[in-house]
Amino acid sequence: MNLLDTTSAVAISLYALLSTAYKSMQVVYAVPANNSSASEGLVSSGQLPSVDVIVPCFNEDPHTLSECLASITNQEYAGDVKIYVIDDGSRNREAVKSVHVSFARNPRVNIILLPQNVGKRKAQIAAIRRSSGDLVLNVDSDTILAPDVIAKLVPKMQDPMVGAAMGQLTASNRSDTWLTRLIDMEYWLACNEERAAQAHFGAVMCCCGPCAMYRRSALLSLLDQYESQFFRGKPSDFGEDRHLTILMLKAGFRTEYVPGAIAATVVPDKLGPYLRQQLRWARSTFRDTLLGLRLLPSLDRYLTLDVVGQNLGPLLLALSVLTGLAELALTATVPWWTVLMIVSMTFIRCTVVAFRARQLRFLGFSLHTFINIFLLLPLKAYALCTLSNSDWLSRSFTPDASNKGGKQVPTQPMAESNIAEYSTRSAPLRRFNLARDSTRPMTSDVVCSDE
């Protein structure tokens, strides 16, 4: 047995041991506890908290935005709900004007028009500082909420030690392509295994952006840190959901997962946008993992295993694959042990997931192994080598119907002083309700309210 073969065999064996321990415990802890009745009692026993729904949007397709807002206005929640739509300097503002006008006739809907694009994070903050509800629900503009999402998230927030809670994500365009089907299954695994297991210990490590609820008092105490995130001296403009979750945990709050709160979001239907999205997420994960390492001693030991498994596991797999490919190229010898271990682990994992989800389609998730090995592993290595890069890597022009899965994409960023002016001061940004301004032409970027 040569050195390459030995290295590949050892690496894949270590990966198998780590992954088996990590995934087995994950499946065990992901089993939900039956405490829904207790949570519902907490809500019914007192006054329902008010909820502000924050929807930042940039160059969003009008139909997609309309579906998103319709799902929010139709929420079956007896408490007070206000909706803040923040147009982050979109260049298709004329195209979405009819959507603004239509929904602003609802007295609960308020529109904020930012004169220039400042990025999703600062757009969120602009609305948060103008809202006043007990709870804040962040929703992406390409996400459709089930009618009971707010009603199911609020009970989890009754505990004052819970700072944030997220719902379960699905792909609204799941049936479009083979890739969207795989991503939908990937979301199921991320929510119902990874997040569900973390929630067992009250420490979901990333409350995902499409549907995450926060306690206002906790959010306001962290808003300055959230707004001014830097990495190696440069502003960090993506990964806002993971960073805010880590800040919540560092402040001593619990973060939770509510599987019954279903949110369907648009996912990329082509490899190019998908890989760019994954590159951003990989950089965000690596950055905030470094930030979250100090948290681990105060959390359950499983969460340390979770972090180690998610970060060390791919490195061992990559080492095994690289040495195996080198052995094949140099000696024309197939690294059968490595191939057998990868195939076996893929089969077992997909079978277990299909059994848990009661859906045979998860057997097809084995195809994701090829994407993971040949595309995502090299991409994660590149992300680790370019952590200081904050480029969103997405097209900056108005998305068309073929650009599904497009998210908030900054264009030319404003100077830092202007960003602070527009995102934190009340004078330049004024909230308005188009119900009372719909007869006036929208000739400027900022429409004044009568406040």
Per-residue model confidence as pLDDT tens for the chain (451 residues): 588 889 999 999 999 999 999 999 999 999 876 654 444 445 554 589 999 999 999 999 999 999 999 999 999 999 999 999 999 999 999 999 999 999 999 999 999 999 999 889 999 999 999 999 999 999 999 999 999 999 999 999 999 999 999 999 999 999 999 999 999 999 999 999 999 999 999 999 999 989 999 999 999 999 988 888 766 666 666 678 999 999 999 999 999 999 999 999 999 999 999 999 999 999 888 888 877 888 899 999 999 999 999 989 999 999 999 999 999 999 888 999 999 999 999 999 999 999 999 999 999 999 999 999 999 999 999 998 888 776 655 544 444 433 444 443 333 333 332 222 233 333 333 333 333 333 333 332 333 233 3
**CA dist 264 → 72, 143, 197, 272, 434 (Å):** 12, 6, 21, 21, 27
Asked if the structure places residue 154 within a domain, the reply is: yes
The reported pLDDT for the residue numbered 65 is 97
**CA dist 189 → 242, 347, 354, 365 (Å):** 17, 15, 11, 10
The reported pLDDT for the residue numbered 20 is 94
The reported pLDDT for the residue numbered 391 is 64
Spatial contact of 189 and 133, defined as CB atoms under 8 Å apart: no
Asked if the structure places residue 68 within a domain, the reply is: yes
Spatial contact of 182 and 371, defined as CB atoms under 8 Å apart: yes
CA dihedral 276, 113, 402, 280 (to 10 degrees): 10
Give CA–CA dist 183/270, Å, rounded: 11
The reported pLDDT for the residue numbered 292 is 81
> In terms of Cα–Cα distance, which of 27, 3, 34, 108 is closest to 260?
34
How, if at all, do strands 254-265 and 162-171 pair? parallel
Asked if the structure places residue 95 within a domain, the reply is: yes
The reported pLDDT for the residue numbered 237 is 67
Q: CATH no. for residue 151?
A: 3.90.550.10
**pTM of structure:** 0.84
Q: What angle do CA 149, 155, 161 make, to 5 degrees?
A: 120
| Total residues belonging to the chain | 451
**Alpha helices of 251-399 — where are they, by DSSP H?**
271-292, 301-331, 336-357, 368-371, 377-385
CA–chain centroid gap for 231, Å, is: 20
The reported pLDDT for the residue numbered 235 is 63
DSSP secondary structure letters along 370-416: HHIIIIIHHHHHHHHHTTT-----S--SPP-TT-TT------SPPPH
Give residue 53's identity as a one-letter amino acid code: V
The reported pLDDT for the residue numbered 228 is 80
Asked if the structure places residue 426 within a domain, the reply is: yes
Both tokens of 400, joined, read: 């068309």
Asked if the structure places residue 252 within a domain, the reply is: yes
* Domain encompassing residue 108: 49-270+411-436
Sign of the alpha-carbon dihedral angle for 291, 292, 298, 304: negative
Asked if the structure places residue 3 within a domain, the reply is: no
The number of folded domains in the chain is 1
DSSP 195: I
Asked if the structure places residue 126 within a domain, the reply is: yes
Residue 113: which H helix or E strand, with range? strand 109-114
Asked if the structure places residue 332 within a domain, the reply is: no
Give CA–CA dist 254/161, Å, rounded: 6
